[in-house]
A = this chain, B = another copy of it.
Amino acid sequence: MSDYRIEEVTEEQLAREREVQGGLAATTRELIDAVLRSTVPDDEMIEIRKELAAITERLRASQIPSSHGVTINPEGGTSRNYGNAVVGMRNPIAPPLDITWHEDGLVTTDFHLGAAYEGPPGLVHGGVSALLLDQVAGEAAAAGHKAGMTGTLSLRYERPTPLGELHAEAKVDRVEGIKTIVVGHISDSEGPTVRCEGIFIMPRWARENGEGKPSIFE
């Protein structure tokens, strides 16, 4: 299942998936937060663990063999990356980010990070900021019609990022051959906390000219 697949999906089916599969993932995100923060007695935790194991078995009665991959809808070119660790609607680990592509090439997202994304006390894990910025920067590259794989990503932590309501944005800074250089940042209510620069490269299979090794690491 792990592949780019072309699959025609109706608007009705998409809406149903959002409601049922997306709803199940959303509730699981709440459960993750509760599992992490709960202080109920040990006996209750042990009992709940048994119940969750039984539910897991019921869900596994029918499942995809490995991971979701990405499905591209020929109608309108929308894609479904339901399993994506940052934006995947079906992925309980994803916050998930809802990223808006603006006409001028800027991509933006507003989101909330709770206890599950903690590193230092009360603060967003530095690696979580990197995780989210990789996705946001990658989408900025794609919005500039320069979709690609991450070549390099550099992060500069200017000050701590508090858990809570946050914003991220990115845009293409410049294009150099097969390299698209994107800049972005995460900010809280007082301004940017982490800045990034990413170099995205067109995968070999997506380029007309398949010759040579991408020279992004020189």
Instruction: Find the B residue at minimum CB distance from A90.
Output: B36
A45 with B24, Cβ < 8 A, contacts A85-B128, A90-B35, A157-B150 known: yes
0/1 string, A1-19, CB within 8 A of B gives 1: 0111000000000001000
In whole angstroms, how far apart are the Cα atoms of A39 and B60 in the complex? 8
Contact call B155/A126, Cβ cutoff below 8 A: no
In whole angstroms, how far apart are the Cα atoms of A127 and B86 in the complex? 8
0/1 string, A31-64, CB within 8 A of B gives 1: 1101111111010111011011101101111111
* Number of chain A residues close to chain B: CB under 8 A: 87
**Most interface-central of A4, A38, A120, A126 (chain B CB within 10 A):** A126
Instruction: Find the B residue at minimum CB distance from A92.
Output: B32
Q: What chain B residues lie within 8 Å of A37 (beta carbons)?
A: 59-60, 63-64, 67-68
A115 shortest CB reach to chain B, Å: 4
A16 shortest CB reach to chain B, Å: 7
Contact call A69/B122, Cβ cutoff below 8 A: yes
Contact call B38/A63, Cβ cutoff below 8 A: yes
In whole angstroms, how far apart are the Cα atoms of A45 and B58 in the complex? 9
A residues sitting closer than 8 Å to B (CB atoms) are 2-4, 16, 20-21, 23-25, 27-28, 30-32, 34-40, 42, 44-46, 48-49, 51-53, 55-56, 58-64, 66-70, 82-86, 88, 90-93, 114-122, 125-128, 130-135, 138, 149-158, 160, 163, 217
Known: A67-B121, A70-B120, A93-B93. 12 other contacts (CB 8 A): A25-B36, A27-B56, A34-B56, A37-B63, A40-B58, A40-B63, A69-B121, A83-B115, A85-B125, A119-B135, A125-B131, A156-B217
